[in-house]
Amino acid sequence: MKSAIAILTVVAFASVPLWLRDPYLMNALITTGIFIIGAMSLNLLLGFTGQLSLGHIAFFGIGAYVSALTSLGFDVGLPFGFRIVHDPWPPIVGFVLAIVVAGLCGYLVGLLSFRVRGAYFVIVTISFAEVVRLVALNWVELTQGPLALTNIPSITIGLPGLGDLTLRTKLQNYYLVLAVAVVTYLLISRLVHSHFGRAMRGLMENETLAVSVGIDVTKTLTLAAVISAGIAGAAGSLYAHYIRIIDPEVFAFINTVTMVIMVITGGKGSLAGPVVGGMIFGLLPVFLRPIMAPEAQWIAYGGVLIGILFVLPRGIVPSLALRFAKPRKRIEPVTAVAFSERDVKEHA
């Protein structure tokens, strides 16, 4: 049943270019797709480990810059008279490096920031993203600062028997994004249904108990952070090679918030949640643009985020699933949820 819906969805998405010719809508779909990949990666942390990372755009941006710089080449001076000169490499190498570097950053950030929880964790992650933004803004020799990196080449892929194919058109990019999105979905799905995914869930639900059954908190969370950051880096790379220009504004906090809204609206901790939420918030601007000023749109988004949290705190997909699934026993929250800290600290 579930996989039937998934296959139908993929087929439906794949058929879109057959009947949709409007370049503006195609463009909106491609950027939406890229952001959905980002939102799926955020959901891995937010929905499956319960860690509210609000610096997620950093990994997306790092992926974008790494990929762009790999394919453009650069020549920067370093302290003590060192110099790095890099000649342009094919964009596809940039794509791979984007995943690797973003994943590595995810590892470092995870290692440092998982030592704190709750509000502190949120603030560390925001700070990390802002520091990266300021570096991108001020390290002009490498990043061109506010002048942006321009003329980023499109991705070229080698097809067996067909030679090299450079993805310049919207149609080609659409299928590239769709393919990466499907792979991402499958990867996250496999992960959360595996042994590792259960460890993440266990940590989210009851950390004390999870630890006592032998789950290594740091290792589990760091693993989730690495994979999540790597996927975000891949999305950033796709973005850079599609838009072909990036500036430090890619790191703006508002972009993280967009992904958070997508995840929360669709339903955190649900695989399809970010896809549903992402389609809504990715395409809403297309329909709102003729009738609302951009500021008014953002007021509406803020309002929707608040409204969803008040009315449908679980998000759209889980709420629908609950409606259509056969009725399960209600959870009585009295017994178990919130006492784990006390259990440890209280000394009889």
Q: Name which of residues 156 to 175 contact other proteins (CB under 8 A).
A: none
Using the rule CB under 8 A, which residue among 108, 148, 187, 312 binds other proteins? 187
Query: Which residues, listed in sequence order, are joined to residue 156 by a DSSP beta bridge?
Result: 166
User: Binding to other proteins (CB under 8 A): which residues in 28-57?
Assistant: 52
**Nearer to other proteins among residue 87 and residue 295 (C-beta):** 295
**Nearer to other proteins among residue 21 and residue 342 (C-beta):** 342
User: Does residue 8 bind other proteins (CB under 8 A)?
Assistant: no
**Nearer to other proteins among residue 241 and residue 268 (C-beta):** 268
Give the integer Cα–Cα distance in Å for 307 and 305. 5
Q: How far is the CB of 321 from other proteins (least distance, A)?
A: 14
Q: How far is the CB of 40 from other proteins (least distance, A)?
A: 15
The piece of 75-83, 86-94, 147-155, 323-331 that touches other proteins (CB under 8 A) is 323-331
State how far the alpha carbon of 181 is from the alpha carbons of 45, 62, 124, 303, in Å: 17, 19, 28, 28
Q: What is the DSSP letter of 263?
A: H
Angle at 31 between CA 30 and CA 33, to 5 degrees: 65
Using the rule CB under 8 A, which residue among 6, 182, 217, 320 binds other proteins? 217
Using the rule CB under 8 A, which residue among 151, 195, 291, 325 binds other proteins? 195
Using the rule CB under 8 A, which residue among 93, 183, 245, 293 binds other proteins? 293
User: Does residue 93 bind other proteins (CB under 8 A)?
Assistant: no
Residue corresponding to tokens 């600290």: 345
Enclosing H/E stretch for 77: strand 74-77
Q: How far is the CB of 293 from other proteins (least distance, A)?
A: 7
Ramachandran region of residue 227, left (φ > 0), alpha (ψ -120 to 50) or beta? alpha
Give the integer Cα–Cα distance in Å for 156 and 212. 49
Comparing CA positions, the residue from 99, 100, 129 lying closest to residue 37 is: 99
Give the integer Cα–Cα distance in Å for 316 and 270. 10
User: Does residue 215 bind other proteins (CB under 8 A)?
Assistant: yes
Using the rule CB under 8 A, which residue among 27, 144, 156, 340 binds other proteins? 340
Query: Which residues, listed in sequence order, are joined to residue 76 by a DSSP beta bridge?
Result: 84
User: Does residue 1 bind other proteins (CB under 8 A)?
Assistant: no
User: Does residue 306 bind other proteins (CB under 8 A)?
Assistant: yes
**Nearer to other proteins among residue 42 and residue 155 (C-beta):** 42
Give the integer Cα–Cα distance in Å for 323 and 298. 31
The piece of 59-67, 164-172, 272-280, 331-339 that touches other proteins (CB under 8 A) is 331-339
Encoded tokens for 158:
């080698």
User: Does residue 183 bind other proteins (CB under 8 A)?
Assistant: no
List phi, psi (to 5°) of 164. Answer: -80, 145
CA dihedral 179, 185, 191, 194 (to 10 degrees): -110
User: Binding to other proteins (CB under 8 A): which residues in 118-157?
Assistant: 118-120, 122-124, 126-128, 130-131, 134-135, 137-138
Using the rule CB under 8 A, which residue among 17, 90, 153, 202 binds other proteins? 202
Q: How far is the CB of 337 from other proteins (least distance, A)?
A: 6
Give the integer Cα–Cα distance in Å for 67 and 85. 16
User: Binding to other proteins (CB under 8 A): which residues in 248-287?
Assistant: 253-254, 257, 260, 264
